[in-house]
Every structure is written in C-alpha cells, then in structure tokens.
Amino acid sequence: MKKALVVFIAVLFILPVALFAGGAKEQGAAASGGAEKFKVAFIYIGLPGDLGWTFEQDQGRKMIEEQLGDKVETTFVENVPEGPDASRIIRQYAQKGYNMIFATSFGYMDPMVEVAAEFPNVYFEHCSGYKTADNMATYFGRMYQARYLSGLVAGKAIGQGESIGYVAAFPIPEVVRGINAFTIGVRKVNPTATVKVVWTNTWYDPVKEREAAVALLDSGVKLIAQHQDTTEPQKAAQERGLVSVGYDSDMGKFVGDSVLVSPKWHWGSYFVKTVQDAINGTWKTHSYWGGLKDGVVQLSDFSPKVSQEVKDLVGAEQKKIIDGSWDVFWGPVKGQDGKVVVADGSKMADGDMLGMNFLVEGVVGSLGN
C-alpha cells in the first residue's frame, strides 16, 4: 500500500490452525509425476467454504484449471495464519518445485518477500500488499468502486436520516476505504443518513461478527453492511426482518433476498492471464489494482427487493466510473469533522487512497476502536 503507510495490524486470526507439513490442510492436485506441468500453489487465510474472501480466491484457482487445463497443476493450503510461520509454508512450496505461489492475504507480505529473495526462479504473487521484487508482484482490486455502488442501494433502502450498521474487520486502509466509499454512496441519495461502524478485529470469526451485527441492530440501525469473510451479519439482519448488503461473494445465494446486493471479487481472469504470462515467459513484476472496468470487482445480481429506479441509478453511476469520467474519491470529499479533504475538481491519488487513514462525513465511529 502507500509508501507513507500507517502501521496496521498484521497478525490476525482466530481460527485454530494446524500448520502445513505438521497439519494445515493441503488440498488439490498432488505434486507428482507431471514435471511438464506448470505448478501453482495458493496460500489461504481461511477456508474455501467461508462463502466469502477465500471462496472467491478459490473460484479463481479453479478457473486456472478450467481454462489452462493440462498445462497446469494447482494446489492450496487453507487456514494459514498471517505472520512469521507463513514463511515456512511458502518456502516449502518453493522447495517442492512449484513454479508460482499466490499468497492471498495482506499479512503474508513480509513472509513472501523473505522467501522470494531465496528463490529467484519462482514467481510470487501477493494479494493487497505494496512490496514487490523482480520475481514478486502484487494484485488487488478497486473494491471501493463497487462499495460506492452498493451504498447507493443501501441509502435508498432506508428512510431519510436513518442509520446503517457496518461490521468492520481491522482499521487498515483497505477497510477504511471501503467504509468511506460506501458512506459516500449512501449519502449521495440520503444526505442525512449515517453509517455506524463497529470493529471486530477479525477477518473470519462468525460468532464475533454476528455479535457485532446484533449490537448494531439493537442500537436501531435499519440495514447491515460488513467487511469480513462470513455471512453472519447478513443472517442477523434477516432474522430481524431487515435487509443487508453483502461482501466478497454473492451472499444473496447463501442468505436470501434480504441481501440487496453484494460487492464481490472475480479473480479468475487475472489469475489465468498471470499464470499464462509466466508460462509464456512474459511475466514481469507489477502492482495490479484493477476495478469495475477490468471486472475484478463487480456487483452481484440485485435482490427482487431493489427497484428498477435504483438499478438504473446504479447503472448510470457505474458507467461513469467505467468510462473514467468520474470516480468515488473525486472532490469534494469531506472528513468526519466537515472539513474538505479532497477539493472540488481534484481527485485523490492512488497512493493516498491506498494509505487512507481518515473517515468521511457521515461515518459514526473512529479508527481507534
């Protein structure tokens, strides 16, 4: 992320973990016999069955197998904690002869940098980080664009001046950027609405994330949004007879029509191109940050509860983002205190967005809890 990056939490996870080669669960094609195949390994922070972040990364891995067929062999290891021990697991794949390794969470960045220096002939791809090397690239998506669009839907779904609850993971730029973009969308159509933020300091903890959603619902919010890897906040809203906005994948498929829409990831095209480039010998280090135009971030299908009028509004706003005539953090943008952060007619630079450490007007909460 941004060079002048704020210090943020890198050692996360609550899930009990049994470590690879001593127990983290490795799955996929066995690394046997097919020396002619290009071998690709994925390091997962959670479970493909989380129906969220890891689920969508795994959908991308499957697309590699579907589109590149006999050229490739893929595998994955799940439930790998962020932090120092990730180095050992990444290193073991390099030692086993894997040609390319994808590490799919921010806290794998420094472990991957360490291992990449030891294996200059292996390709390394890290999700959401900012450090690169000759054989290590980064990839991420402009999820803030889809978040903004979902904010339009959310703002239209509540009464003027009502509140939305937002169950948030960690106060890092990625999450802050999403909260801000969502809130800008909400307040474009509902100028007096507020977005209440509760931090769980988790990526995947169904119990904590449900508890946070319930607390927000008890406080009187009319809709739930979130940035975690479970569907529990959406389920909590549904149980109260209220609606929600999902994240990561199309959570309406797992929860129902109460999920109005979900900003979601679509990694497959990027994964396939990146692996094919490596096979062709044309891969070069890069820092990829694609958006709606590339299709790496998308909106799911709308719930039947969303009106055609709202769908048309979202379509018009999406068109402006895709054709480049406007983007979410183009001024004027105001901070929580009402002071202008991005002047009218100006647009926030990518570096400033990647290091975002302020909340916009309309957000109730702080970065300190």
CA end-to-end span of the chain, whole Å? Answer: 22
* pLDDT at residue 51, rounded to an integer: 78
Neighbours of 328 (CB within 10 A): 25
Mapped onto helix, strand or coil, the DSSP state of residue 350 is helix
Q: Is the dihedral of CA 300, 306, 308, 309 positive or negative?
A: negative
Q: For the purposes of burial, counting CB atoms within 10 Å of the CB of 346, is it exposed (0-12), middle (13-18) or buried (19 or more)?
A: middle
* pLDDT at residue 246, rounded to an integer: 97
* pLDDT at residue 369, rounded to an integer: 62
- Cα–Cα distance, 187 to 227 (Å, whole number): 19
Q: For the purposes of burial, counting CB atoms within 10 Å of the CB of 161, is it exposed (0-12), middle (13-18) or buried (19 or more)?
A: exposed
- Cα–Cα distance, 112 to 121 (Å, whole number): 14
* pLDDT at residue 204, rounded to an integer: 86
Can you list the domains of the chain with their CATH numbers?
26-141+266-290 (3.40.50.2300), 143-259+298-364 (3.40.50.2300)
* pLDDT at residue 50, rounded to an integer: 82
- Cα–Cα distance, 130 to 132 (Å, whole number): 7
DSSP conformation letters of 83-144: STHHHHHHHHHHHTT-SEEEE-SGGGHHHHHHHHHH-TTSEEEEES----BTTEEEEEE-HH
Residue 163 tokens, joined: 């509140």
* pLDDT at residue 20, rounded to an integer: 38
State the DSSP H helix or E strand holding residue 265, giving kind and residue range, or none if neither.
strand 263-265
- Cα–Cα distance, 170 to 165 (Å, whole number): 16
Q: Which residues of the chain have pLDDT under 70?
A: 1-35, 369
